Amino acid sequence: MVALGVFLAMKWKLKDSLFIELGSIVVFYWCANKSMRPWSLQATFADIERGIDKVGNVVFSMAEKNENEMAYSLAIAAINREKMFKAWW
């Protein structure tokens, strides 16, 4: 997950929860229910779980349909060009 990776790279400290909106109901169910995750993505979800452990409390929610188009576009771009996107401030 790009959002989790950026958050960890920034080394921000949370007083509450990190909220991540997902645009796919399937991915939302994968995040919420470990038994539904495809076997082929187990390594990816293991990385996500390690990131969640570092952050503390992460809450996944569903974005309203058609309201998350920019996030969707950025996610697709990151999948296609993973090395190209890195946030630095």
9-43 pLDDT, tens per residue?
877 777 777 888 887 888 888 888 888 889 998 89
CB atoms within 10 A of CB 63: 16
Q: 13: burial class by Cβ within 10 Å (0-12, 13-18, 19+)?
A: exposed
pTM here is 0.58
What pLDDT was estimated at residue 22? 81
pLDDT of amino acid 52: 84
Greater model confidence, 36 or 82: 36
Distance CA 25, CA 68 (A): 13
Contact 8, 1 (CB under 8 A): no
